[in-house]
Amino acid sequence: MSYTIALNFEDGVSRFIQCNANEKVLDAAYRQKINLPMDCSDGVCGTCKCHCESGQFDLGDDFLDDALSDTEVAQQMVLTCQMVPESDCVINVPMASTLCKTASQKWDTTISRITSLSESTLELELACDEACGIDFLSGQYVNLTTPQGDITRAYSFSSLPGANYLTFLIRNVPNGAMSLYLSQHAKTGDKMTLAGPQGSFYLREVQRPLLLLAGGTGLSPLLSILHTLARQENKTPIHLIYGVSRDTDRVKLDELQKFTEKLSNFSFQLCVSDPATAEALTGHVTDHIHPDHLYAGEVDIYLCGPPPMVDSVMDWLQQQQITPTHFYYEKFTPQAAEVPA
Ligand code: FES
């Protein structure tokens, strides 16, 4: 029996380790060549203090109040030198990955499919060369590098974590370097390198209704989140509003329809900002957020889209004087996502 522990570092890098039954997180990390912050290793100094975002664990009872106070325990703070997981956990480490002698992991993958879903969207499917797949938290992204190593871009997974086939929705940017590669040069069997996973936009433990807002290919991480929610057989109300600019940008409507069958409380709406649309709903996502979707603020909102959309949703919430319990967002900026190869 072992548990998967996601370690989220301050610089956005995530690493996943396996923790054996009765093994302390600090020891498991060290065994897997990650040096989490520590000093005494005995529950005395508090140097190894981290925040456990989700999961069950035994905190241990052999630590000093000075190292971890009752208030901190109530805030889900933990000492990794004492904590023994009793389920998979997500732990936030208040330190950069490099200071813990680790970094993003690199993965070799092979292109298994490239599909043009619309004029503006490609779907890339990669087969992971590792038999065990790639762990990530639904909503996170990786940096993809072309076989020549000359182009690297960040893309969010649309698939389920741990699957051997990884999928991504990719905006087909006119004259974009990665778009040109994928639409004109790439072929099945080409190798691509992934580095990651990264990012703080990911599904947290579901404790209240969810409102998901997607703009364009910002749908990608939300599809991954829906896959995970479907695995959890979640009964929580989940509503998605998916906005695109033109009718020709609409993608994955069949898949969204299937989620309404897999998730008993899932519903979605599509809106198109082009007034000439054939769709029933025109305008922007904020035009279609109904008070019923907001539960008087008792809601967690996940938003992924281009920066103007994210900004306008934030302004709209402020104008409506709605403060959601949690508001997670990712600004989807293909150009800004470039990372040196
Ligand atoms: Fe000192 Fe954990 S390393 S309390």
pLDDT band at 315 (very low <50, low <70, confident <90, very high): very high
* 266-276 as b/e: b if 16+ CB within 10 A: bebbbbbbeee
φ, ψ of residue 105 to 5 degrees: the values are -85, 150
Least confident of 67-71, 162-166, 198-202, 246-250: 162-166
Phi, psi of 35 (to 5 degrees): -95, 90
36 C-alpha vs ligand 1 centroid, how far in Å?
10
Centroid of ligand 1 to alpha carbon of 204 (angstroms): 27
Residue 334 has a pLDDT of: 56
- Which residues contact ligand 1 via a Cβ below 6 A? 38-41, 43-48, 67, 79, 81
Reported as a single tens digit per residue, the pLDDT across 228-286 is: 999 997 789 999 999 999 999 999 999 999 999 999 899 999 999 999 998 999 999 99
Share of the chain above pLDDT 70, in %: 97
Confidence of residue 164 (pLDDT cuts 50, 70, 90): confident
The DSSP bridge pattern shows strands 89-93 and 121-128 to be unpaired
Kindly give the distance from the C-alpha atom of residue 39 to the centroid of ligand 1, in angstroms, as a whole number: 6
Separation of CA 42 and ligand 1 centre (Å) = 5
Could you tell me the pTM of the whole model?
0.91
Pocket test for ligand 1, best of 41, 66, 73, 95 (most atoms within 8 A of CB): 41
Residues 283-297 have pLDDT tens digits of 999 999 999 999 999
Alpha-carbon span 76 to 72, nearest angstrom: 6
pLDDT of residue 124: 97
Which numbered atom of ligand 1 lies nearest the CA of 64?
4
Instruction: Report which protein residue has its CA nearest ligand 1's atom 4.
Output: 43
Q: Element (H or E) spanning 109, and its range?
A: strand 105-116
Between the CA of 95 and the centroid of ligand 1 the distance, in Å, is: 15
Per-residue pLDDT at 341 exceeds 50: no
| pLDDT over 90 percentage in the chain | 87
- Residue 240, H or E segment: strand 238-244
What pLDDT score does 287 carry? 94
Residue to probe by mutation, ligand 1, list 30, 40, 73, most atoms within 8 Å of CB: 40
pLDDT single digits (tens) 112-159: 999 999 989 999 999 988 766 789 999 999 999 999 998 999 999 999
Reduced to 3 DSSP states, what percent helix, strand and coil does the chain have, rounded to the nearest 5? Answer: 25, 35, 45
Residue 36 pLDDT greater than 80, yes or no: yes
Query: What pLDDT is attached to residue 336?
Result: 38
Q: Is the pLDDT of residue 30 over 90?
A: yes
Tell which wins on pLDDT, 340 or 64.
64
Q: What is the pLDDT of residues 56-94, one digit of tens each?
A: 999 998 899 999 999 999 999 999 999 999 999 999 999
| Average per-residue pLDDT for the chain | 93
Q: Which residue has the tokens 């979640």?
A: 234
What spacing in Å lies between the alpha carbon of 254 and ligand 1's midpoint? 51
Atom of ligand 1 nearest to the CA of 40: 1
pLDDT computed for residue 134 by the predictor: 86
Q: Which of 30, 42, 72, 93 to mutate for ligand 1's pocket (most ligand atoms within 8 Å of CB)?
A: 42
Residue 231: in which H helix or E strand, if any? helix 219-231
pLDDT value of residue 131: 67
Q: For the chain, what's the residue count? A: 341
Which of 30, 52, 81 to probe ligand 1 with, by most ligand atoms within 8 A of CB? Answer: 81
Helical axes 253-262 vs 219-231, angle rounded to 10°: 20
CA–centroid distance, residue 63 to ligand 1 (Å): 8
Distance 53 CA to ligand 1 centre (A): 19
47 Cβ contact list (under 8 Å, min separation 6)? 37, 38, 39, 40
Ligand 1 centroid to Cα of residue 82, in Å, is: 8
